[in-house]
Structure formats: C-alpha cells, structure tokens
Chains A and B, each alone.
Chain A
Amino acid sequence: MATLNVLILVCLGYVVLLFGVAFAADRLAAAGKGAWLRSPLIYTLSLSIYCTAWTFYGAVGNAARSGLEFVTIYLGPTLVMISWWWGLRKLVRVGRSQRVTSIADLISSRYGKSNTLAIGVTILAVLGGTPYIALQLQSITLSFSIFAEADPTGLYREGSSVFWVAAGLAVFAILFGTRNLDANERHHGVVTAIAVESVVKLFALLAVGIFVVWGIAGGVEPMMDRIDASEIGQWNVDAGRWTTFVFLSAAAFVCLPRMFQVMVVENADEAHLRTAAWAFPLYLLLMSLFVVPIAVVGLDLLPDGSNPDLFVLTVPLSQGNEWLAMLSFIGGFSSATSMVIVTAMALSTMVSNHVVMPIWLSTQEGGGSVSGDVRNVVLMARRVSIAVIMAFGYYYYRLSGGGAALASIGLVAFAGISQILPALVGGLFWRGATRTGALVGLTTGFLLWIYTLLLPGMGGVLMTDSVLQHGPFGLGWLRPQALFGIEGMDPMVHAVMWSLSLNTMAFCVASLLSFPSPLERLQGAQFVNVFDHSVAPRGWSGSVAQSEDLMIMTQRILGAGPAQEFFQAEAQQQGGRTRLPEPTPVFLERLERELSGSVGAATAHAMIGQIVGGSSVSVEDLLAVADESAQLLEYSSQLEVKSAELSRTARQLREANTKLTQISEQKDSFLSQVSHELRTPMTSIRAFSEIMRDTDGLSVQEQTRYAAIIHDEALRLTRLLDDLLDLSVLESGRVSLNMGGDTLRSVLDRAVSSALAGGSHTLTVRRSIASERLPLHTDLDRLGQVFINLITNAQKYCDADEPVLTISAHDVGGQVVVDFTDNGSGIPPEAQSMVFEKFARIGGDKAGGAGLGLAICREIIQRLGGEITYLPGQGGAAFRVRVPLAYRQAAQ
C-alpha cells in the first residue's frame, strides 16, 4: 500500500514536472521557437480545463446516483462548440480586438468601460468560483483520505489536510500564475502545462476505464450486460433537469472565468476554434466514455455506502491495482490543479485590475503619477487575491460541511456564473443593450442566485430552516425554494429558472428604458459589428478607373517621384500592359503597407477604403485615425522639444563663435595698433638718421635738433615696449606682487615728486594731508605706478591755463578711495567709456603716449583687488581709485 508520504512525493514530483514544462514553453516562446506552442492542438487541450476534478471523479458519482444525467455536463459544451462556434468566434474576435484581460474586462468594456460592472462581475466570479474551488479541495482531500485509510502510520487528519491542500494549491497558483505580470501577453508556459495535464487526466481516466471493462468485466459484451442489468442503464430522463443542466453547462462553458481565460485571452489564432469545434467534443466524448462502466462496476464491487464520487480510485484499489489507483489519483490531481491555477489566475487578474488597482491608484497622491513600483503593487495584488480566493474556497468547504455531493457544488457554481450570460450575449448581439440594463440584470440574477441556491445549499449555516420552510418573516411566497408559490420543482431547476429569467427580463427592460452614453454606443457598435471593422481578414478589390485616384492620393502622401516609381514597378510586375497597375487586392495591400509607413495603418486603410469604396469609413476607422494622430502629435511634441534643444545648442555655438570672432578681432586690432605704435617712432628715427647720413652741410642746430628727435623717438619706443611687456604680464596674471606696509601719504608723496620731476609741463597738485594718514598693506610700487600715471596724464592732458590737480582721499569700509580731479575740460562723454581700453588715446597724441597707461592702471588695480573708474561731471578729468586697505588673497 502506498503511504501518504509516497503520495505527497509523487504530487510534488508532478508539480515540479509541470513547472519544468511551463518554464521550457516560456523559454521557447521567448526565443521565438516552438510554433507548436500556438497550435490548435494545444488550444483544444487547454480548453479541456473545463473538465475539473468534478468531471474526473464526480461524473462517475453522478452516474452512480442519477444515471445518465451526468451526460448533460458534457452535452452543454459540446452543443456550444458545434452549433454556436460562430458566436464563440465573435467572442474571441472582440476579446482580441479590444485586448480584454478577463470576462469582467469584456463586460465592462462593452458597456462603456464601466468599472462598476467590472466590480460586479468580479464579485460574481469570485462568489461563483469559491464553491468550485471548494470542490477541488474536497476532491483532493477525499482522494487523499482513500489512501490514508490504509496508511499504517495513521497520521492523516481530515481537517488539517484540507487546510494544507488549500495552502499548497495557493502557493502553486501564485508561483504559476503570477510569474508573468502582463495579462495581455499570453501565458505560453501555463497553457502548455495545462495541455499536459489534460493529456494526463484523459489518459488516467481511459486507463481506469479500460481496466474496468477488460480487466474486471471481461470485455465489451459482458460489460454491456452488466450495464443493462444496472439501474443506471435505465433511460430515466427528467426533462426539466436535463434542459436546465445542459443549458447551465453550456452557459458556464462560455462564462466561467477560467474558460474565458483559455478560450479568449490565451487564444493565438481564431482559426484554432475551427479545430477545437470538433476536437474538443471528441475529448469530452473520450472523457465520458467509461463513466458508466466505472459507475456500474463500482456499485457492483464495492460495499453499499461507499462514496461513488471516488469509484475512479476505489475500484482499482479494491482490485489491488495500486499503480492504476496512483495514476488515477494523479489524473484527479491534474484536474484539480489545472482548474485552480487558471481560475486563480483569471480571478486574481480581475480582482487586481478592477478592485485593488482602482482603489490603490485613488489613494496615491497626484492621481496619474504612476511610478515604477506599480509593478510590485500589481504582483502583490494578484498574489494576495489568489490567497484570499483560496481562503474563501477553504472556508466554503468548512461551512458547507464537506458532505454535499461534488456534482451539486459544481452546479451551484455554474448557476452563479451563468448570471453573466444575458449581459454577455446581449452585449455581443444587441446594440440596444445598455450599462444600466447589464447592471440591473446582473444584480437581479446574482441576488436571486444567492437567495435561492447558494444560501440554502450551505446547510443552515447562513439561512435557518424556518426561512427555508416558511419564507422570511413568514412570507410564504418568498420561500427560497418556492418563489411566488411555485412549489414542487427541483431546487436547482427552480433557482436557475427564476434567477436567469428575471435576470434576462431585468436586463432587457432596463436596457430599453435607459439611454446609453456615447462611449457605450461606440463600444456597442464595435462589439456587435466586430466583423465589419476589425482587422483580421480584410482584402481589397477595385476597378482600373480607381488607379488614377489612388495615384493622385499616393503622390500627395509620398511625393511625386516615389509614388510614380512605386506605381510603375507595380504595373511592370502585373505585366506592364498599362501605365498604371490594376487595383488588384495584392497591389492594394502593398500600397496600403507603403502608405501606412507614412501616415499610419488606420489612416492608410481609411484612405484606400474611401477611393476603392469597398467599405465606407467606419467609426472605428476614424477612431483609429484619431489614435494615430494623437501618437503623431506626441511624437511631434517630442520633436519640438528636440528641436528646441538643438536651437538652444545652436544659439550657444553662435554666441561662442561671436565671442571667438570678437576676441580674434580684438587680437588683430591689437596687433595692428602695436604695429602702428612701433612703426611711427621708427619712421621718424629712420628718416632723420638718413637725413643726417645723406645730407651734406647740415647746420649744427639742425644736427642737434634731429639727433634730439631720434633720441626722443627711441625713448618713446622703449617706453612702448616696456608698457607692452608690463601689460602682457599683468593680463596673463603671472604678475608677482610685492606686499609692503606704509601710509597712503608717503605713497602719494613719492608718486607726486616722481611724476612732476619727469614732466616738462607745470602742474599744481593740491592735497589734504590729514586725510591721507591711512595705513596701507598692498603692493606699494604698483599702486605708486598707478598714481604716477594719473598725475602724468593730468600733466599731459589738462588743458587749463593754470592746471591744478586735486587729490583727495578717504576710507570707506576697509577700502581707501583716492580721487584725482583736474581743472581741465575733462574727457568728452562719448569717449569716457573708452579711456581704459588699450591704445584709446583721446583727442590726438599730443604727448606721444601709446595709450596703454590707463589700461595698465586698470589691470594693476584689479590685481590689487580694487577698481579704477572715471568720474563724470567733476568739472575736469576725474579718476577714482579704490583699493582695499589691506590686500587680501581672495580679492585676486
């Protein structure tokens, strides 16, 4: 006997295998390989997620209890697949073209993207899914308990095992379902793992069936005899129950979140539906093939009171075939896990997208500012949702007592989820359906389902027997299982009839009475007319006359040259009989591609559509054009930003260039000035030295005079060179300052005597000695040089009859201010701004200076951390020197 430990190990090993499959499939898909991952076979197999543990174990149980009624669960989906595949195609097309992520998203999207509806559908799906998950828990727990009965260690306890199964499945679903964040992308890994599980469960059930028929009964004919002898074989059909169950399973097949996930969201190609239309019913047929034999043999072999839901396990075990039992267990485990994974994935997407994220976003300050941690929030929301959904399932199981038959729990869930059907089908086929209608219908159906089915089914926990027997507050016509006095019906049929019919009626009436919003109208038109507008197969046809128009339009978009080239090339390809190509579908599609490169796909399609006239421009086309325009606008605003950046850079470059040009011009002008200043004295020297050399009979006076001129000009040259060197050293900043301390008075004393001694002009200097008793710590020689220059300038340029220079000094906040003001006519206003520039000699060159003196002064004073300025409006030329009393390094 296999012990529980072995069983757990096998389960874990199987889960690891599934992970391996999922991981490998994801890797293949990411690498762009493995086209078979998107094959119709995988799609069909993934649809068989419909068969859960309920179908795996419960069908046999159902057959053992109610005969052939179990077939209804297979009939519903089969009918949908075979006779309503066109409806499914529409669903898939809408789902893909609207990029929906779940059935809640689809409903919300159809009715004007209403989040209220999305939340409603989500709640319904969670409540409907809860009993279903409880069902899986129950089936796994029961199958464990079968093995545990014989387990010698006796460690098995039911209560804790349910909890651990639920926790394990939650972890499994979290690991599996939330690996990929993007719900829009298909989960190749999960779908492939589910396909594998589908094969495993089918294989397990077939193996048990074959064992029963050929291993126990001894062949087909003895088996048929046994069936005939059994009660099950009796064709005992309750029309009400059959119709209800077929309808319910059909509705659930379309509405179940997990079915929607694999059928619509994970669909890679609409064409897969065509294969699934026959392959999936075939799968269901195989699944149901041995249900009756197993049930019959189980009833025969096993003692009365054995749970028929577990015949698939207990029949092989009773025959001592442990390995087959183990395989069967794995089959059941597969059914349960695949259902739980996909349901949890689908539900958690719904919960996180429609409940958690809107709430989270509304609590974030600044509304739209969605930062990078949203990813984590979404993942967290999904994981927590899965855990909560599993917890719901667990508590439902505990509340319902775990005793109810598997099949009836499944049907409760089916009935709940079917409440979506009117809104879904109405939304797909009736443009008049409105959001209000959907909301009212869903609410009505939902409440009735809870009242008539869910609460009574929970066995007196949430609804007392007295309510069940006599109605709430003793109102007999409100009895949950006999509404409006209609008694004697099967509770399930009763509940489905009332909830769905009132749901549909409320939906229709409220839709007719309410008015859709513009967005609803638009979405409604897109859903109902999805095949007219959507992108999948669209071809063109047109007549030759239209080629001219197409040419004109293309020229406008591509420009004359490229358009003609394109048309000529196309005409040649068609055989070159005409100048313009005939508008064959192939040509038109190529043209559309060519144009969409310039104007976007939707616009290109709409433009060609207008000319070729295959279809008028639809609202959707216009919307798509608007979308593209918005993208173009965004793109162009990005371009604008870029172009602004470029023009800023260009402006900076231009400014730099202007500066460089100015500097270059300044340098040229400086060199030109220097050249002039050097050549002028040299001209005099050369001219007079030649005169003295070449001229005979010069008088002594003449000789003396000319020699004096040569001497003066030589001195002038020397001065100029000295000044230039001085300036160059000062400007380069390489000047070394000799700091010393003395009073201002003694510095001025030396400067005045030095300046007056060298000059030929008379100049009276007026000073106020008292104010000059300021201690200075600076480069005294350089400061003296500035003073000498200013005094000399006054000496040279003061045009008064009796030139007087007034020197006044005072200290202001740690600085000494010395003003030199003469009594001449001063410097003309237009020249005042120029006095400190190099070679800026004002008013002729009377004194033979090169015009560098004040430029040098300015440089020196700047080095000393002060400034020299011209003071306008002082009567004569007035200069103000301001230097710190104590030189500071930082001032440099």
Chain B
Amino acid sequence: MSRKVLLIEDEPNIAEAIRFLLTREGWQVETHSEGTDAIEVIQGAQPDLVILDVMLPGKSGMDILRDLRELDDMRSLPVLMLTARGQSRDREMAENAGVSRFMTKPFSNAEVLTAVRDLHAQATQS
C-alpha cells in the first residue's frame, strides 16, 4: 500500500518542509517546481494526492487545476491547494476550479497533515 503524493511547489524550502513531514507519515513524495508541464507530470506520476501551489512559474495553479479537472481520469483526484496570496477571491476561484481543499500559507504542519489524511481517507472510501 504505497501512497504517493505529488508536490508542485516552486519554493524549495517549503517543498523540503512538506516532503519531510509527509515522508515521515509514510508517503512517497515526488516534487516538481514548474507550472508549464505540471499536467503531464501529474499524468505521468499517477499520484494518490496532489499538493499544488498557486503562484508557479509558467502556469498558475488555478489554470493547472482547471485543466486537470477537464481530464476524465483526474476528476476525483484529491488536490490540496496552497497559496501565499491572502485574498478571499482566490478561495472562491479555487473552489470553482474544483479544488478538494484550500489552505493559506503560512500553515501549521498539523493542518497539512490532517488535510492530507482526510483527503486520502475520503478518496479511498469512495
């Protein structure tokens, strides 16, 4: 039972922190830092869960999510979105785009872990 998470984040330090946390929880963590080819990377990695930053070089997280949900096999893929832009409009946009969970940076580690656990549990139950 290998759980795989794909972390798309361009800030190396943040990526490293999340990788540390999730690895200890037993997740297999893959990381990517570009927006442009994110869809292909997701399709290639076939993760159980995606953690997606909003401000990415090349293509924004919102656009990636929107395009992702267009794909048949990606409709129900749990996506946890993280953003450093503290505007309520972003949450709304993310929900419209089909986000599974939306979190604002800076987050507490416990929050991230809980969210990942919940999302995974929901996904495996259904």
Contacts and interface: CB of A to CB of B under 8 A. Distances in A.
A844 B20 CA distance: 24
A676 B55 contact: yes
Interface string B1-43: 0000000001101101110110010000000000000000000
Given A690-B108, A690-B109, A691-B21, A684 B84 contact: no
Given A686-B106, A691-B109, A675 B86 contact: yes
Given A680-B14, A709-B16, A844-B10, A686 B87 contact: no
A594 B107 CA distance: 77
B105 interface: yes
A844 B57 contact: yes
A306 interface: no
Interface string A661-681: 000000000001001110110
A679 B21 CA distance: 19
A680 B17 contact: no
Contacts of B24: 695
Contact of B85 (A675, A691, A712, A713): A675
A675 B84 contact: yes
User: Does more than half of chain A's interface fall in helix, strand or loop, or is it mixed?
Assistant: helix
B23 to A, nearest CB: 11
Contacts of A684: 11, 13-14, 17
B86 A713 contact: no
A694 B25 CA distance: 14
A512 interface: no
Interface in A678-724: 679-680, 682-688, 690-691, 694-695, 709, 712-713
Interface in B59-102: 84-87
Contact of B106 (A682, A695, A843): A682
A845 interface: yes
A688 B10 contact: no
A683 B109 contact: no
Contact of A679 (B13, B57, B105, B110): B105
A687 B11 contact: no
Contacts of A682: 105-106
A645 B16 CA distance: 63
Contacts of A690: 108-110
Contacts of A679: 84-86, 104-106
Contacts of B107: 683, 686-687
Given A709-B13, A709-B16, A687 B87 contact: no
A685 B110 CA distance: 15
Contact of B84 (A683, A685, A687, A691): A683
A680 B105 contact: yes
A686 to B, nearest CB: 4
Contacts of B108: 686, 690
A686 B106 CA distance: 7
Contacts of A677: 84
Contacts, number: 65
A687 B14 contact: yes
Nearest to B86: A675
A676 B85 CA distance: 5
Nearest to B20: A691
Interface string B38-58: 000000000000000001010
B7 to A, nearest CB: 13
A15 B126 CA distance: 120
Given A691-B20, A709-B16, A680 B84 contact: yes
Contacts of B84: 675-677, 679-680, 683
A3 B54 CA distance: 119
Given A682-B105, A683-B105, A688 B86 contact: no
B82 to A, nearest CB: 8
Interface residues of B, number: 23
A844 B87 CA distance: 22
Nearest to A843: B57
B13 A688 contact: yes
Contacts of B18: 687
B17 A687 contact: yes
Contact of B109 (A675, A676, A694, A712): A694
A74 to B, nearest CB: 104
Nearest to B82: A683
A797 to B, nearest CB: 14
Given A683-B105, A694-B109, A844-B10, A688 B85 contact: no
A712 B20 CA distance: 19
Nearest to A678: B84
A676 B14 CA distance: 13
Nearest to A713: B13
Contacts of A695: 24
Nearest to A679: B84
Contacts of A680: 11, 14, 84, 105
Nearest to A716: B13
A695 B113 CA distance: 14
B11 A683 contact: yes
A676 B106 CA distance: 10
B111 to A, nearest CB: 10
A684 B109 CA distance: 11
A682 B84 CA distance: 10
Nearest to A685: B106
Contacts of A691: 17, 20-21, 109
Contacts of B55: 676
A682 to B, nearest CB: 5
Contacts of B106: 679, 682-683, 685-687
A427 B86 CA distance: 94
Interface in A780-835: none
Contacts of A713: 13
Given A672-B85, A679-B86, A844-B57, A687 B10 contact: no
Contacts of A676: 55, 84-85
A231 B69 CA distance: 137
Contacts of B105: 679-680, 682-683
B122 to A, nearest CB: 24
A45 B58 CA distance: 103
B17 A688 contact: yes
A146 to B, nearest CB: 111
Interface string A487-520: 0000000000000000000000000000000000
Interface centre among B13, B106, B110 (most CB of A within 10 A): B13
Interface centre among A684, A687, A694, A844 (most CB of B within 10 A): A687
B102 to A, nearest CB: 14
B13 A845 contact: no
Contacts of A712: 13
A505 to B, nearest CB: 101
A814 B74 CA distance: 65
Nearest to A672: B85
A676 B54 CA distance: 10
Nearest to A686: B106
B57 to A, nearest CB: 5
Contacts of B85: 672, 675-676, 679
Interface string A834-850: 00000000011100000
A463 to B, nearest CB: 110
Contacts of B13: 684, 688, 709, 712-713
The 9 closest A-B CB pairs, nearest first, are A687-B17, A679-B84, A684-B13, A683-B106, A683-B105, A686-B106, A676-B84, A690-B109, A682-B106
24 contacts: A675-B86, A675-B87, A676-B55, A676-B85, A679-B104, A679-B105, A682-B105, A682-B106, A683-B17, A683-B106, A684-B11, A684-B13, A686-B106, A687-B21, A690-B108, A690-B109, A691-B109, A709-B16, A713-B13, A843-B57, A844-B10, A844-B57, A845-B10, A845-B57
Given A672-B85, A686-B108, A691-B17, 18 more contacts: A675-B85, A677-B84, A680-B14, A682-B106, A683-B14, A684-B17, A685-B106, A686-B107, A687-B21, A687-B106, A687-B107, A687-B109, A688-B13, A688-B17, A690-B110, A691-B21, A694-B109, A712-B13
Interface of A: 672, 675-677, 679-680, 682-688, 690-691, 694-695, 709, 712-713, 843-845
